[in-house]
Structure 1
Amino acid sequence: MENYFIVSILLVFLSFVYLKLAIKFKIIDKPNERSSHSKITVRGGGIVFPIAIILFSLFNNFQYPFFILGVLLISIVSFLDDIYTLSSKIRFPFQLIAVILILYQIGIPLNALYLISLFFGVGIINMFNFMDGINGITGMYCIASLLGFYFINTNESIVNNSLIIYALISLLIFGFFNFRKKALFFAGDIGSISIGLLIFYLGMYFTYYLSSPLIIGLIIVYGADATNTLLYRKLFTKESVLDPHRHHIYQKLVDVKKMSHLQVSIIYASIQLLVNIVVYKTYNLDMQTQYFTLSILVTIFTLLYIYLFKKIKA
């Protein structure tokens, strides 16, 4: 408990320090025609996420060293991307290395599952980056997702629960600066990529050791929006999937329906919390029931995406 207090104080202090330094050195996000904000705002405030993970390592005898190394590596590259805007050709190899370190930490053997997990891992961390587009959504949604992992882990003891708690503390502190009408700073690539890497690590770890495909339900709200948007762009537009855009449902709710950033963020997090309850109640059932439940969830969210997309477009 004492460590949680110390970590909280440190992260609050470092957040204020970073805010001042970022303003001084102009680490800022300028709005453009595809932005959902209208004023210049500090970026990279999500630096508190990897710092929290590193503090967990320091206070817990350097537990999960390969995972921590992956977080450190990808955080450095992502922070440089926040400052200089790096090419995807530079970012991708480091993302790949970070995912490989995670799979090694978990102990997944070199087989077909490994290759699928490698591809899936890079996709997940980029999904969290693409979905980080309005005030509050990264903080609120990741809190909702991590709470699902926390309660399952309380039953199963797969990882040290402090890892999840440290991340939750960093998200709450980040929320103080970001969960407001006019955010003081954004997560930036360092925030969205590092927290995405953590959630991929937990998701992969839980899925592998519990033999539970239903664990993916803990990120299904983000997954449905990101995956269906990707399919829409590939099938119906000529845009590169790497280019910024405004096709996500959360963007359309803000831009077209004129809902506030905070309203949309709360809706996404609340829906995920409801799904978490379903996952919590069914993750340890027989495989047939899990796959049936997962298929129902995927169908519901796919149909919901199509309905909302068409309704907003109309």
Structure 2
Amino acid sequence: MSYLVLAISLFLLILIYFKVADHFNIIDKPNERSSHKDVTIRGGGVIYLFAGLALLIDDFATYWPFVAGLMTIGVISFLDDVFTLSNRIRIVFHIAAVSLLFYFLAVFTFHLVWVICLYVLVIGIINAYNFMDGINGITGLYSLVVLLFLQYVNVSQVHFVGEDMIWYPAIASVVFLVFNFRKKAKCFAGDVGSVTIAFWIAGLLLQLIIQTGNYTYVLFLAIYGVDTILTIIHRLYLKQNIFKAHRLHFYQILANDRKIPHLYVSTLYAVLQAIVCVIVIFNGSVLSFAGVIIPLVIMYVALKPKLMKPATV
């Protein structure tokens, strides 16, 4: 499928989805934990499922296990957007989806201990990505940056996957951003969007790491990773339930406590991740971990208390 045809098709499909969502009242209502004030259509991230189906149409024999996993985790996430499902139901489908991904990547040929560790890592990435989806533009823009740098590696350094497997979600991200990267967003990604693109990117990164043996590529998710992990530690320190909604992520402090416009914060996260990706690509050594992670941790720990309102510390 040509990229222009795909872009036009996704654009039309998301417009159709808006009609369906409006009819069935699939909306996001703001609450005390939200970073938005207006009722907005939820589930615009369904566009990533459409991109997956396009990939399947192009090459069923190659991509069916991956797309089957994508659809499994995407559909259950969409149902969670609509009905709110229990954690137990979601985790069963997440494990099933990741199992299909591992079949696609031949992960089950690894030692059992590695397989278990990879289950924890991939499911952790998926949930972290979901936690980070809280302001306009952040999921689409951050994902687009990561995908573009993955494509650069794929084309210029080591060919680890078919180019369409990266271009399709990148195009979907651009189309989604047309409606989400706004002061007043037309739609939010919803769990279906953040979880599905997280699954897609995690699969691409895992394939790259397996093929190259270079673990520093995990830093392609460094900004999200540091914010998520340190926020969990912060909440544990405050004796909070880490599974409940909150407003303690660093990006939430910037957007909610400091009132920095969402699009500025989203752009900041995307730019910082782009810088990290450049460092990894041109200095992909073990020292990259220290050179990237330590400054990010220092900035988080030093700046967050100063930026927070006293009541939220």
Quickly name the TM-score band, shorter chain normalised. over 0.9
Q: Does the CA-based 8 Å contact 1:132-1:192 persist in structure 2? A: yes
Aligned match of 1:297 = 292
Q: Structure 2 counterpart of 1:85, which letter?
A: T
Shift of 1:99: 1.3
Q: Structure 2 counterpart of 1:71, which letter?
A: L
Aligned match of 1:113 = 114
**For residues 294 and 111 of structure 2, what CA distance do their matches in structure 1 show?**
32
Shift of 1:72: 0.7
3-state SS of paired residue (1:216): helix
Aligned match of 1:141 = 142
1:33 matches 2:32: yes
**For residues 34 and 254 of structure 2, what CA distance do their matches in structure 1 show?**
14
Q: Structure 1 counterpart of 2:282, which letter?
A: K
Aligned residues: 306
Shift of 1:243: 0.6
**Equivalent in 172, 176, 181 of residue 170 of structure 1:** 172
1:130 matches 2:131: yes
Equivalent residues in 2 for 1:94-105, closer than 5 Å: 94-105=93-104
**For residues 138 and 61 of structure 2, what CA distance do their matches in structure 1 show?**
31
Aligned match of 1:213 = 215
Aligned match of 1:93 = 92
Please tell me the root mean square deviation across aligned C-alpha atoms, in Å.
Answer: 1.2
Aligned match of 2:271 = 270
Q: Does the CA-based 8 Å contact 2:55-2:63 persist in structure 1? A: no
Q: Does the CA-based 8 Å contact 1:249-1:308 persist in structure 2? A: no
**For residues 30 and 298 of structure 1, what CA distance do their matches in structure 2 show?**
36
Shift of 1:62: 3.9
Shift of 1:241: 1.4
Change over 3 Å in CA distance of 1:280–1:128 after alignment to 2: same
**For residues 305 and 218 of structure 2, what CA distance do their matches in structure 1 show?**
26
Aligned match of 1:152 = 153
Deviation digits for residues 225-275 of structure 1 (CA, Å, limit 9, x no counterpart): 0111011112x1222211100000100001111100000000000111111
**For residues 289 and 26 of structure 2, what CA distance do their matches in structure 1 show?**
41
**For residues 47 and 149 of structure 1, what CA distance do their matches in structure 2 show?**
22
- Structure 2: state its 5+ residue gaps: none
The worse-fitting range, judged by mean Cα deviation, of 56-65 and 39-48 is 56-65
**For residues 263 and 220 of structure 2, what CA distance do their matches in structure 1 show?**
21
Shift of 1:60: 2.5
Shift of 1:96: 1.2
Shift of 1:50: 1.6
Change over 3 Å in CA distance of 1:188–1:62 after alignment to 2: farther
Q: Structure 2 counterpart of 1:41, which letter?
A: T
Q: Structure 2 counterpart of 1:241, which letter?
A: I
Aligned match of 1:12 = 11
**For residues 115 and 71 of structure 2, what CA distance do their matches in structure 1 show?**
22
Shift of 1:296: 2.1
Change over 3 Å in CA distance of 1:62–1:176 after alignment to 2: farther
**Equivalent in 299, 304, 307 of residue 309 of structure 1:** 304
Q: Does the CA-based 8 Å contact 1:3-1:59 persist in structure 2? A: no
**For residues 302 and 52 of structure 1, what CA distance do their matches in structure 2 show?**
35
